[in-house]
Amino acid sequence: MFISFEGTEGVGKTTLIREIYAHYEQKGAEIILTREPGGTSLAEQIRALLLSVSHDEKMSDDTELLLMYAARAQHLQQVILPALQAGKTVLCDRFTDASFAYQCAGRGLNENKLALLNQSFVSRMPDITLWLDAPVELGMSRARERGALDRFEQEKVSFFEKVRAGYTRLWQQHPERIKRLDATQAPEKVLEQALEQIGKLA
């Protein structure tokens, strides 16, 4: 089973994934936890490039999108597909929906570019996507509490409002795959609802 997790900054996504991983690992499930951008040595180097705030030139939106997909192609081929073929469950912190939300809805890139990249390089979509949704201001305040902000976290609230709207649109278009979780709830409640959604596919 391939499960992806989505959401804007500071919604508790990474914490939830770790809790779900621990839950299934304790049951003896063959499961891996990975992330995007990243997940392999090469893809993690691309991640560092994408998140760095120390560039002496502005990264273009097209460059950002292409780097995301370079990392994704490597990640799919080296980690996700082999794990699925071996019968393992894959928990992935972000996948293609993030590119739509951030690069298309957030940056304003043409959706046809994303569609072409998905058609060319993404041979497997998640079986279920858990979208953690919360007001942008709440998520950003949580992100600031974590310390230094990366290149994406430094974006303005208006950018993340567009990203959230992008996720909302995806959820409305793909309700059979994308399940919305109210991330303003207590973490244990979010975990309970996430496990319930995953259990429906098991």
Break the chain into its structural domains and give their ranges: 2-199
For residue 149, pLDDT beyond 90: no
Which range has the worst mean pLDDT, 10-14, 29-33, 150-154, 194-198?
150-154
Cα–Cα distances in angstroms (integers) from residue 86 to residues 20, 30, 39, 167, in the given order: 20, 9, 17, 31
For residue 79, pLDDT beyond 80: yes
């900054």: which residue's tokens?
9
For residue 161, pLDDT beyond 90: yes
- What CA–CA distance (Å, rounded) separates 192 from 120? 36
pLDDT-derived band at 17, boundaries 50, 70, 90: very high
For residue 170, pLDDT beyond 90: yes
3-state SS record for the chain: CEEEEECCCCCCHHHHHHHHHHHHHHCCCCEEEEECCCCCHHHHHHHHHHHCCCCCCCCCHHHHHHHHHHHHHHHHHHHHHHHHHCCCEEEEECCHHHHHHHHHHHCCCCHHHHHHHHHHHCCCCCCEEEEEECCHHHHHHHHHHCCCCCCCCCCCHHHHHHHHHHHHHHHHHCCCCEEEEECCCCHHHHHHHHHHHHHCCC
Would you say the pTM of this structure is higher than 0.85?
yes
Please give the class, per CATH, of domain 2-199: alpha beta
- What CA–CA distance (Å, rounded) separates 52 from 50? 6
